[in-house]
Amino acid sequence: MTDVVATKNLVETAVSAAMAQVLPAELAGGDPLVRRSEHADFQSNVALALAKQAKRPPREIAQAVADAIDAHAVSATTSGPGFLNLTVPDATLWERIGERVNADRLGIGTPLTGERMVIDYSAPNIAKEMHVGHLRTTIIGDALARILGFLGADVVRQNHLGDWGTQFGMLIQYIDEHPELPWRHQGGDVSTLDALYRAARAQFDADLGFADRARSRVVALQSGDAATLAVWRELVAESELAFQALYDRLGVLLTPADSAGESTYNLFLADVVEELVAAGIVVESDGALCVFFDDITGPDGDRVPLIVRKSDGGFGYAATDLATIRYRIRDLKATRILYVVDARQAMHFRMVFATARRAGWLTDDVHAVHVPFGTVLAADGRPFKTRSGGTVRLSELLDAAVGRARDVISEKAHGLAPDELEHVVQAAGIGAVKYADLSTSRTKDYTFDVDRMVSFTGNTGVYLQYAHVRTRSILAKLPEGAALAAVDTTLPLHPAERALALALDDFADTLADVADTLEPHRLCGYLFALAKAYTDFFESCPVLRAETAAQRGNRVALCRLTGRTLATGLHLLGIEAPQRL
């Protein structure tokens, strides 16, 4: 595997070398501040940034750096108050194309090698259907898992299923009292389980006797009663089938092997609390065992606790989360732990991380990060309800998107066989939903609008899929052997070719940026810009009808590289890139 050095890095090297010649030693080693520019290929702002420290006018510094730059590598001119406009020779860009098009993995390196990253995402609840509330964590988490893994990290996916809690007493008791109900072996149809849950809930709320029996059943479950546990296991297995069906449909990497639900940590809860007690980290308050934090207070000004053991002796989710983080550090040996969880739980994670730090589990060489995302809102700007009937099921949403995709594609498609058409319809519909979620800033509230989501114009998944298809369709029409031509680095670059080449060169930088910020929408923005650059190229640079064989060969390389970059980028977002559309 060969990493290809990006043109931007070559420019940075050239500017740094020039800085070393004309600036005092203490300033010469600084960041050359090279950025993409509207006025040239790149620009450097060092002269403006360092003028004060260097006690020289910025224009003078810019001119000195420009004069010192190796003119064979980069041509530099000064502009405005002290900008340095940097342009690379055509041959340099063609060389990059030639290297990348023949490289494994597009010449992208694996800078995260050696890191073990645990990613906690999706976390649906057993015996309930997945709804829009699970959309963002599942899709964002999966994209991050793919991207970090691509960059060389050892990714450990963790699906923290909601597979434990008092609601199972209610559910199991209800099943026990209604043995005739058909909920087993539904083969991934969780709606019967969901109906069961709602029926049990209704009776729990209305029937005091049943509520008492349900509470007894909770005790039986927690104390390991064999018959109760057996039903519980069946419930979990049945739900996991349903989740897997949905993950498969969504193109999400999660499998049962990644499941590590709340119940996984039951055995460790007592030990975790004991350890915290022994360390003097928890104190008793109103009968509960709590951790307090000076900077976290409630409306009355009193400090708010993280309750690790309830006054009734039971363990809550805080204990589970503490046992979980301890396990991920001690046993999974994580160097970075990502919790892709709703932003509303920010304070909870602050407390959990702070506690883990006090306990000595979370050290400076491990990074625990809450990766928050905004609330899912309806088109009217109000949140989706979770408990009263207004919840949209995830499967319904996907059906709607795929249905719309089918309508549009059916009237456009030429010569797609029925099974291929159906595959394309699924890829477009599912991709539309995922792209809509991923392409907006993660931390903001997310307006969920089916019409916008499945609209196939503008900055959408289908636009990118279509751009990819246009690269494939040119390549499919090439005469025999034409795809194998080497890049001729002596040809002049058309402006659209130059813009495309520069965009292609940004891919590695973009991925590193996403790995750093954990914001997949930056990759979406990059791919959209790349697709537009390709479309410009497509409009103004004929490939099959190029003027010479050499020119055609170079443009074929651009098509191939663009196609592979788009397909790779979409794949890293968890979106399919069909060959035809």
Partner RNA sequence: GCGCUCGUAGCUCAGUGGAUAGAGCAGAGGACUUCUAAUCCUAAGGUCGCAGGUUCGAAUCCUGCCGGGCGCGCCA
> Among residue numbers 261 through 290, which ones bind RNA (CB under 7 A)?
262, 285-288, 290
Give which of 288, 448, 282 is closest to 380, Cα–Cα: 448
Task: Rule CB under 7 A: choose which of 210, 339, 456, 507 binds RNA.
Answer: 456
Per CB under 7 A, does 420 bind RNA? no
Per CB under 7 A, does 165 bind RNA? yes
Per CB under 7 A, does 298 bind RNA? yes
Residue 155 or 474 having the CB closest to RNA: 474
Task: Rule CB under 7 A: choose which of 9, 255, 335, 375 binds RNA.
Answer: 375
Going by C-beta distance under 8 Å and a sequence separation of 6 or more, which residues neighbour residue 479? none
Per CB under 7 A, does 466 bind RNA? yes
Minimum gap (Å) between residue 134 Cβ and RNA = 12
Minimum gap (Å) between residue 216 Cβ and RNA = 16
Per CB under 7 A, does 423 bind RNA? no
Task: Rule CB under 7 A: choose which of 317, 354, 509, 550 binds RNA.
Answer: 317
Going by C-beta distance under 8 Å and a sequence separation of 6 or more, which residues neighbour residue 169? 214, 215, 216, 217, 218, 219, 220, 221
Burial of 29 (0-12, 13-18, 19+ CB in 10 A): exposed
Per CB under 7 A, does 519 bind RNA? yes
End-to-end CA distance of the chain: give it in Å, rounded: 32
Task: Rule CB under 7 A: choose which of 447, 482, 489, 512 binds RNA.
Answer: 447
Task: Rule CB under 7 A: choose which of 275, 528, 557, 569 binds RNA.
Answer: 528
Task: Rule CB under 7 A: choose which of 128, 134, 522, 564 binds RNA.
Answer: 522
Q: Look up residue 154 and give its amino acid.
A: D
Whole-number Å distance between alpha carbons of 305 and 287:
12
Q: Look up residue 419 and give its amino acid.
A: D
Q: How far is CA 67 from CA 29, 40, 64, 70, in A?
A: 18, 17, 5, 8
Residue 187 or 481 having the CB closest to RNA: 481
Interface of this chain with RNA, residues 318 to 337, rule: CB under 7 A: 320
Per CB under 7 A, does 143 bind RNA? no
Q: Which x/- pattern, by CB under 7 A, does the window 219-258 give for RNA? A: ----------------------------------------
Minimum gap (Å) between residue 114 Cβ and RNA = 27
Residue 157 or 404 having the CB closest to RNA: 404
Q: Cα–Cα–Cα angle for 332, 337, 342, nearest 5°?
A: 135
Return the sign of the alpha-carbon dihedral for residues 553, 559, 563, 569. Answer: positive
Interface of this chain with RNA, residues 535 to 554, rule: CB under 7 A: 535-536, 538-539, 541-545
Query: What values do phi and psi take at 267, rounded to 5?
Result: -65, -20
Per CB under 7 A, does 166 bind RNA? yes
Task: Rule CB under 7 A: choose which of 20, 39, 57, 274 binds RNA.
Answer: 39
Q: For the chain, percent helix, then strand, then coil, each to nearest 5?
A: 55, 10, 35
Per CB under 7 A, does 441 bind RNA? yes
Whole-number Å distance between alpha carbons of 512 and 526:
12
Per CB under 7 A, does 57 bind RNA? no
DSSP 8-class letter at 407: H
Task: Rule CB under 7 A: choose which of 428, 487, 566, 577 binds RNA.
Answer: 428
Task: Rule CB under 7 A: choose which of 2, 113, 216, 311 binds RNA.
Answer: 311
Per CB under 7 A, does 348 bind RNA? yes
Distance of CA 554 to the CA centre of its chain: 34
DSSP state string for 473-513: HHHHTPPTTGGGPPP-TTSPPPHHHHHHHHHHTTHHHHHHH
Per CB under 7 A, does 385 bind RNA? no
Minimum gap (Å) between residue 322 Cβ and RNA = 13
β pairing state of 34-36 and 42-44: antiparallel
Whole-number Å distance between alpha carbons of 76 and 318:
58
Minimum gap (Å) between residue 529 Cβ and RNA = 8
Residue 167 or 173 having the CB closest to RNA: 167
Minimum gap (Å) between residue 459 Cβ and RNA = 5
Residue 114 or 314 having the CB closest to RNA: 314
Burial of 3 (0-12, 13-18, 19+ CB in 10 A): middle
